Amino acid sequence: MKIVLFGPPGAGKGTQAKSICNKFSIPHISTGDILRKHIAEKTPLGIEAKKKIDSGQFVSDEAAIQIAEERLKQDDCYNGFLLDGFPRTVIQAEALEEFLNKKDQKLDTALLIEVPKEFIIERMSGRRVCLSCGASYHIKFNPPMFEGKCDVCGSEIMQRKDDEEATVRERLEIYDRQTQPLIEYYKSKDLLSVVDGTKAINDVFINICEILGSAINK
């Protein structure tokens, strides 16, 4: 399966990506996670990206395309992958298409997790993430077993700086301007599928599995 997963910040991309990748045994490629790793390691890209991410802005298309392509060139992506948070602009989508064309490959689907704005702020304010292993929780909808501790590695879990309300509002505006056009882009290529992301986490996953089952048989 070769999947692009997109949707507004807080739609549940990271949450669903983990379950999809386990089920289909494909690597989860999150450009957000890769950028946060660069930030933690204080690489030149990380230092530049931190300013952008903390203020809710996108990194440049050039940087995003470079990190996505570097990861896609690795052997474990040959039979499939899930891209989470890439592409985020039409320029990035065109670059991805060109990259795959050169390898005689194509996407199976571009899956949009649709969640209206009014749900997003509550989700983001309650999100807690593990800075060690990247696991993500929600204090109400998906709490860890022990308060404040990661189920996976036991480290402390915290709020992401870009989850503060003002930054989330900025991210939503940028999503509308820069990422929404991907809906038409993938519709025109007959690759778009849409799941209602307002349901409970497990129900969203069940619907996604149905959609991906039909995409395989297309």
Q: Which residues bind ligand AP5 (CB under 6 A)?
A: 7, 9-15, 30-32, 35, 52-53, 57-59, 64, 85-86, 88, 92, 123, 126-127, 136-138, 141-142, 162, 171, 197, 200-201, 204
Q: Is 123 a catalytic residue?
A: no
Residue among 74, 68, 58 at smallest CA distance from 95: 68
Q: Is 171 a catalytic residue?
A: yes
CA-to-CA dists, residue 166 to 8, 54, 161, 179, 188, angstroms: 15, 11, 11, 19, 34
Residue 73, classified by CB atoms within 10 Å of its CB into exposed (0-12), middle (13-18) or buried (19+), is exposed
Catalytic status, residue 128:
no
Binding site residue list:
10-15, 31, 36, 57-59, 85-88, 92, 127, 130, 133, 136-137, 150, 153, 160, 171, 199
Q: Is 169 a catalytic residue?
A: no
88 is annotated as an active-site residue: yes
Q: How far is the CB of 14 from ligand AP5 (least distance, A)?
A: 3
CB of 31 to ligand AP5, least distance (A): 3
Q: From the annotation, which residues make up the binding site for ATP?
A: 10-15, 127, 136-137, 199
Which residues are catalytically annotated?
13, 88, 127, 160, 171
